[in-house]
Amino acid sequence: MVLVVVMGVSGSGKSTVGSLLAKKLGWKFYDADDYHSDGNKLKMAKGIPLTDQDRIPWLGELHKIIREGLSSENIVLACSALKRVYRDILTNEESTALSQEVKKDEMPPSRPFFVHLDGSMELILQRLEKRKGHFMPSALLQSQFDTLEPLSAPEHFIIINVEKNVLDIVSEIERMLVKSNLEYLQ
Ligand SMILES: Nc1ncnc2c1ncn2[C@@H]1O[C@H](COP(=O)(O)OP(=O)(O)O)[C@@H](O)[C@H]1O
Ligand SMILES: O=C(O)[C@H](O)[C@@H](O)[C@H](O)[C@H](O)COP(=O)(O)O
């Protein structure tokens, strides 16, 4: 089965784009935000960036969910996945320098496809400041950009600029999925 990870800084549109993409494809959608511990949420709400130690148990939990889900369903996951090592823990390709819990051979063989929602700090800040009812303060955006490590080979990925509207972004991802690997959409 197939895993698409929609990633990027807070406010880049992961939840919006990921959920619509999953709906259009008829795939299962998971939002990584739903799996943060109360401690992590409180920390972010106070304007304190998460550390590796805060994120690793969360990523390990997500890894387990994905691994189980992929045995029977195609998945779209919305997850910040800011650093390479975080992405490796999620998908278990290399890992586990930081996480002893995740074993290398646990993930079924399926190459994850990453979609980085990329945009300027100004644009994303504007969107975050308009967003209501979310624990993540816009003050953390700078640290999100500071932490972000761009995708690079051998990661399998596309980068999409979030100036476009949501429908266009989703259509572009669908086109890229077809182009990059037809068997993804069986
Ligand atoms: N391409 C877009 N164009 C305009 N507004 C967008 C776009 N993508 C997301 N938004 C809006 O920006 C805000 C942040 O989006 P969200 O999906 O919550 O981001 P994330 O999950 O990455 O934090 C939301 O209010 C959402 O409606
Ligand atoms: O790794 C992190 O620091 C968090 O996952 C962060 O990137 C994420 O943005 C928050 O969970 C807030 O949620 P939103 O992405 O929806 O703002």
166 in a domain, yes or no? no
Question: Which 3 state secondary structure label does DSSP give 161?
Answer: strand
Q: Domain range holding 24?
A: 3-161+171-185
- Retrieve residue 163's tokens: 């100036």
pLDDT at 101 over 70: no
Residue 145: CATH number of its domain? 3.40.50.300
Q: Would you say 84 and 96 are in contact if contact means Cβ atoms under 8 Å apart?
A: no
98 in a domain, yes or no? yes
Residues with CB under 6 A from ligand 1: 8, 10-16, 78, 127, 130-131, 162, 165-166, 169
137 in a domain, yes or no? yes
Q: How far is the CA of 153 from the centre of ligand 1 (A)?
A: 27
**pTM (two decimals):** 0.91
80 CB less than 6 Å from ligand 2? Answer: yes
Give the span between the Cα atoms of 8 and 175, in whole angstroms.
Answer: 20
15 in a domain, yes or no? yes
80 in a domain, yes or no? yes
- Retrieve residue 173's tokens: 């991802």
Q: How far is the CA of 96 from the centre of ligand 1 (A)?
A: 31
What's the number of domains the chain is made of? 1
- Retrieve residue 129's tokens: 């400041």
15 CB less than 6 Å from ligand 2? Answer: yes
Q: What is the pLDDT of residue 107?
A: 46
146 in a domain, yes or no? yes
What is the share, in percent, of the chain residues with pLDDT greater than 70?
87
Tell which wins on pLDDT, 186 or 48: 48
17 in a domain, yes or no? yes
Q: Name residue 151's amino acid.
A: L
50 CB less than 6 Å from ligand 2? Answer: yes
Mean residue pLDDT across the chain: 89
Q: What is the pLDDT of residue 180?
A: 74
| Residue owning the nearest CA to atom 17 of ligand 2 | 10
- pLDDT tens, position by position, 124-145: 999 999 988 888 888 899 999 9
